[in-house]
Structure 1
Amino acid sequence: MKTKEVEKWKAFEHPDGTVRDLSFFDAHEAIYTHYAVGKPNKVYKFYVTYSFHCFCKEYENQSEEEKNALMYFAPRDQRPFCDRRYQLARLHLRKLIEDLGNRKVLHAGYGSYAVVELEGENGESEFYFVVFSTFKENKRLRLHVTSAYPVSKKPGGHYVGFFTIAYNLLSGRQPPHAPK
């Protein structure tokens, strides 16, 4: 599928000499099946892409030398690489995206949605703000993860079912908006 987003991410050579593989951010298809009682199952296929904001961030109080050493050059922008975002994404992001049909999705504003809670390594809840937008492109359903980063507390807001988002998108209806 031809898209304006990056479909294959190049690895990052970290200043510590190791290479950070970014292939798990490569575009892929995700299939979601909505099992409805008394109705036929509905299958939604989304083509998924990821922004480099899932593994890069702008740092405050970072020297120019540190910033330049960590700089990741994407096709249309550049930002310093972030090991924390990278590790969270490597461990959780694709699984979260592929499991959207079973998760609580939060309105994130500006027509975007987010997944916020995951089980951390110690078994406790962690909050990971994974912001994504959905749309149609070339007659196909698209999901683009615009950013993913840890947050210290659970964000507030209204929840919406992922299948409501998918159904409205496929039907040409307005996406669900947060109540005012």
Structure 2
Amino acid sequence: MKNYHVKARLQWESFEFEGNEYPLTHLRAHEVIYKGEKDTYKFIVTYGLHCFAKDDQEHSIPLRYSDSRESRQINLERYHASKKLRSIIENLDTEGKVLYETDKEKCFNIEMMNSLNKKIEPYKICFHFFKENRVLRIHVTSAFFERRNKQISNKSYSLFKIAMDTKKRPRSKGIPKEACNS
């Protein structure tokens, strides 16, 4: 695995539950390149604990996983869905996809097959876009099937608008605390 000089965890160790091993190699840090009309943007992508862990949910198991900030129960629904995250991130520049903004982060919803119940459901992915040591970064803070029917913000952006703004941002802007999980 390539060694990136970022503060986030670069890889997650597999876990075992009821005699089965669950690898987390699909959540290793990686590069993604988005080619726009005016510029090309290269990001280093990392993933947070919330992509595969959530306490006290239907598919949470009695096994905890920790990063440097917190400890949570592993959630098998989130774990199985997280296997598709890398492909989704690599294709964010597909025409027609927009990201919307909440108070703290950018989010994106897609309709995706839930491998546990075999239903198509809205899958919400939340990110932070920032600059770390002159490197453009995406940190996926959370990803889950959204069942609360929450109102989506009217404020939406294309990936290239966010990438351009992130590239222009001064380095000193700071790293989101969620991305410091090593």
Runs of 4+ in structure 1 deviating by more than 6 angstroms, as ranges, are: 121-124
| Equivalent position of 1:177 in the other structure | none
What are the superposed Cα offsets for residues 42-81 of structure 1, whole Å, 9 maximum, x if unpaired? 110000000011000011699xxx86x3111334421100
Is the Cα–Cα contact under 8 Å of residues 127 and 154 in structure 1 kept in the other structure?
no
Is it true that 1:127 corresponds to 2:135 in the alignment? no
- Which has the higher Rg, Structure 1 or Structure 2? 1
Aligned-partner Cα distance in 1 for 2:136–2:143: 21
Q: Does 1:88 align with 2:81?
A: yes
In the alignment, is residue 31 of structure 1 matched against residue 33 of structure 2? Answer: yes
User: Superposed, which structure 2 residues align to 1:95-114 within 5 Å?
Assistant: 95-102=87-94, 103-110=97-104, 112-114=105-107
Amino acid at match of 1:43: T
Summarize deviations over 1:3-33 as a string: whole Å, max 9, x none. 221101100111x210111011010001101
Q: Which residue of 2 aligns with 1:157?
A: 153
CA distance in 2, matches of 1:61, 1:24: 23
TM-score with structure 1 setting the length: 0.80
Aligned AA (2:107): A
Q: Which residue of 2 aligns with 1:147?
A: 142
Question: Structure 2 vs 1, CA of residues 87 and 53 (structure 1 numbering), >3 Å: closer, same or farther?
Answer: same
Query: Which whole-Å CA distance do the structure 2 matches of 1:86 and 1:32 have between them?
Result: 26
Matching of residue 11 in structure 1 with residue 11 in structure 2: no
Structure 1 SS opposite 2:31: strand
Q: 1:3 to 1:125 in 2, by over 3 A?
A: same
Q: Deviations over 1:114-172 (max 9, x none)?
A: 11113427998521111000110010100000111111247421221110000111122
Q: Secondary structure of 1:109's match? A: coil
Amino acid at match of 2:27: F
How large is the Cα RMSD of the aligned pairs?
2.6
Distance 1:155 1:87, change over 3 A: farther
Would you say the 8 A contact 2:131–2:169 is kept in 1? no
**Overall identity of the aligned pairs, in %:** 31
Instruction: Give the secondary-structure state (helix, strand or coil) at the position aligned to 2:167.
Output: helix
Q: Contact 1:54/1:147 (CA < 8 Å) preserved in 2?
A: yes
> In terms of mean alpha carbon deviation, does 51-60 or 72-81 score higher?
72-81
Richer in helix (by share) = 1
